[in-house]
Amino acid sequence: NAGVTQTPKFRVLKTGQSMTLLCAQDMNHEYMYWYRQDPGMGLRLIHYSVGEGTTAKGEVPDGYNVSRLKKQNFLLGLESAAPSQTSVYFCASSYFTSGELFFGEGSRLTVL
């Protein structure tokens, strides 16, 4: 049972490049989330999904897009990366909206 898996774990981009982070969960969870973690700012919610085919904005959605075409996958896209998007990104999933969150190991993104 892998839980929540994120790929890639590390990536370096140049300003303006695009990329996609993939999150996969094998727990049949309805809810999935993307957070970013920056020093002194805790975790901030970027986008989330309450089920297959749905997405919604979190606290800091600008510059990111997401898709949930399959229940087990939640993709986070950066269309034109900026240095301000240098961060550690965490995916999480939960069975219900106020339930325990299960986190991936994180993806460290550096934008030069």
Residue 98 contacts other proteins per CB under 8 A = yes
- Phi, psi (deg, nearest 5) at residue 77: -115, 145
Residue 27 contacts other proteins per CB under 8 A = no
CA distance 94 to 8: 21
Residue 62 contacts other proteins per CB under 8 A = no
For residue 91, count other CB atoms closer than 10 A to its CB: 29
For residue 46, count other CB atoms closer than 10 A to its CB: 24
Per CB under 8 A, which region of 14-22, 64-72, 77-85, 98-106 contacts other proteins?
98-106
Nearest CA to 74 out of 37, 41, 104 is that of 104
Size of the site for other proteins (CB under 8 A): 24
Residue 89 contacts other proteins per CB under 8 A = no
The binder of other proteins chosen from 43, 52, 61, 72 (CB under 8 A):
43
The binder of other proteins chosen from 1, 10, 40, 69 (CB under 8 A):
40
